[in-house]
């Protein structure tokens, strides 16, 4: 995966989530939001291993609108890009969404394994394989309420009981996922999932700092990349903030 | 809910999903896609109770781009609009997505209850309530693979076992959802879910015809609205096709 190479070259395990947000009433507001996002990317690019884009940027900028400028800049900087769409629709829609995200230049997308395979995520994996792009599966999200279902015990077809996140981690292996998401707020889950996955499948952990995750605990538990969003984007000095985290991770590892 | 009033006025239980799709290389392709979508809406508007928009239209047109023209036309026609985003992110992102979808003019959005409440969907419901918009929860999707998880048995906190879709239907009541989605491919599930819900919470059923759902069975099972997408959008005559379905439903009920 492209991200591993970039991570090694830059000696960084940090992915920037461009979580800048504002309402947009007109074209000028959209341009201002774009400029804010672009300036954070410019300031931090040399310290990050990749860029993640979420709905709060996709919707106002538009996939084929100003977001193209952001993706173009990431490409020039040599950064892999992830669209965090958490796709979970029927196959026809999933395939079209994947087609547009990949056409627009994203290297990988996130998907919810709860969707299932046949008529669900199969088409996304097919599309990703055909175009050498990545699919990252949600295994356990970072928010408190994720426990309600990602942490829920389910009945398997042979009658055994298992928590959902372990089932999802097994699906990631079975389906050939290019990565999984386990929230930084649950280092114990990261450790458990790390054991279930071959080392070729990296763990991405969002939810450090603002959401309560602790960077040391997350990397000691075995995550591969921490995703920093508001912690960096809302910092007075995004560049110093991300540098601080990159250095901190180097000391831990 | 606005949709019920429109449905009664027009004597139609059919919602149009504007599932037109194409890759877009330039502004001209985007305009052509918009024109195709708009022309289907214009042809069918007097026979439908609402309009649903999916990723295959949202991504190429852009929420604040050509999609504004589609939403403006729907508003002029007096049609309620649903964005089928199946939102399933953390609260901060969900709230921003809901803010943008509602700012852009959508009356309701779809959400995946698997996300959970605290730090998950709570923010979406808060935002919807504050602005008098709707949240429609997925209870059982229409594709074959939905069975893997929507149909899976889970262990409740008191140790009882229950299929997920029944748990989700109960969440729809508990959280005050404005509707639920149960795929047209599973009339038995529609019957079971109908019993669990008060009549104020309508069932929306996508997946008729192209995906294999049968219109008679779906309404006899107790669905409130059928969502027609490719069946209409890929028909030689969308207007006649939707009229045929509207009349068919009248005969059933």
pLDDT digit string, tens, across residues A81-94: 999 999 999 999 99
Distance separating alpha carbons of residues A96 and A93, to the nearest angstrom:
5
Domains of chain A (ranges; CATH) run 2-137+202-248 (3.20.20.70)
Q: What is the pLDDT of residue A217?
A: 95
Single out the catalytic residue among B2, B52, B86, B171: B86
Q: Do B86 and A90 touch (CB under 8 A)?
A: no
Q: What is the pLDDT of residue A210?
A: 75
Whether A103 and A68 have beta carbons less than 8 Å apart is answered as no
B164 burial type by CB count under 10 A (0-12 exposed, 13-18 middle, 19+ buried): buried
Residue B151 neighbours by CB distance under 10 Å? 15
Q: What is the pLDDT of residue B6?
A: 97
Query: Percent of chain A, pLDDT > 70?
Result: 100
Residue B253 confidence (pLDDT) above 90: no
Task: Name the residues of A annotated as catalytic.
Answer: 86
B192 touches chain A (CB under 8 A): no
| pLDDT class of A140 with cuts at 50, 70, 90 | very high
Residue of A nearest to B26 (CA): A64
Distance separating alpha carbons of residues A37 and A56, to the nearest angstrom:
11
Q: Do B230 and A92 touch (CB under 8 A)?
A: yes
B117 touches chain A (CB under 8 A): yes
ipTM for the complex?
Answer: 0.97
**Tokens at A15, concatenated:** 């992915």
Mean pLDDT of chain A: 96
Around A241, how many Cα atoms within 13 Å sit in the side-chain half-sphere?
19
The helix (run of H) or strand (run of E) holding residue B161 is strand B161-163
**Tokens at B150, concatenated:** 């929507």
List of chain B residues whose C-beta atoms are within 8 Å of the C-beta of residue A206: 90
Distance separating alpha carbons of residues A83 and A75, to the nearest angstrom:
14
Q: Nearest to residue A154, comparing CAs of A171, A169, A166, A142? A: A166
A195-247 tens-digit pLDDT: 999 999 999 999 998 777 799 999 999 999 999 999 999 999 999 999 999 99
Q: Do B97 and A152 touch (CB under 8 A)?
A: no
List of chain A residues whose C-beta atoms are within 8 Å of the C-beta of residue B141: 90, 115, 120
The pairing of strands A161-163 and A153-155 is antiparallel
- Which candidate from B112, B152, B155 shows the least CB-CB separation from A88? B112
Mean pLDDT, residues A53-64 taken together: 98
Q: What is the pLDDT of residue A209?
A: 81
Mean pLDDT, residues B200-206 taken together: 97
B117-144 tens-digit pLDDT: 999 999 999 999 999 999 999 999 999 9
Q: What are the residues whose beta carbons fall under 8 Å from the beta carbon of A89, sequence distance 6 or more? A: A97, A115, A120, B54, B55, B84, B86
């Amino acid at each position: 995966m492209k991200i591993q190479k970039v991570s090694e070259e830059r000696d960084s395990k940090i992915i920037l989530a461009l979580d800048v947000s504002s309402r947009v009433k007109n074209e000028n507001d959209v341009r201002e939001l774009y400029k804010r996002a672009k300036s954070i990317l410019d300031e931090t690019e040399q310290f990050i291993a990749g860029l993640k884009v979420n709905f709060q940027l996709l919707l106002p900028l538009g996939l084929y609108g100003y977001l193209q400028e952001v993706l173009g800049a990431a490409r020039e900087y040599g950064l892999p890009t992830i669209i965090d769409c958490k796709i979970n629709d029927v196959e026809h829609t999933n395939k079209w969404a994947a087609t547009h995200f990949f056409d627009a230049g994203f290297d990988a997308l996130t998907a919810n394994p709860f969707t299932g395979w046949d008529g669900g995520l199969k088409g996304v994996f097919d599309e990703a394989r055909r175009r050498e792009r990545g699919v990252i599966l949600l295994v356990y999200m970072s928010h408190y309420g994720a426990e309600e279902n990602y942490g829920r015990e389910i009945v398997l077809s042979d009658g055994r009981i298992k928590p959902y996140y372990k089932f999802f981690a097994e699906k990631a292996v079975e389906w050939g996922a290019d990565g999984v998401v386990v929230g930084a707020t649950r280092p114990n889950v990261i450790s458990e999932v790390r054991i279930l996955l071959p080392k070729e499948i990296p763990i991405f952990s969002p939810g450090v700092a603002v959401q309560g995750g602790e960077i040391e605990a997350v990397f000691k538990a075995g995550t591969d990349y921490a995703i920093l969003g508001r912690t960096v984007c809302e910092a007075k000095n995004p560049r110093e903030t991300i540098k601080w985290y990159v250095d901190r991770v180097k000391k831990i590892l």
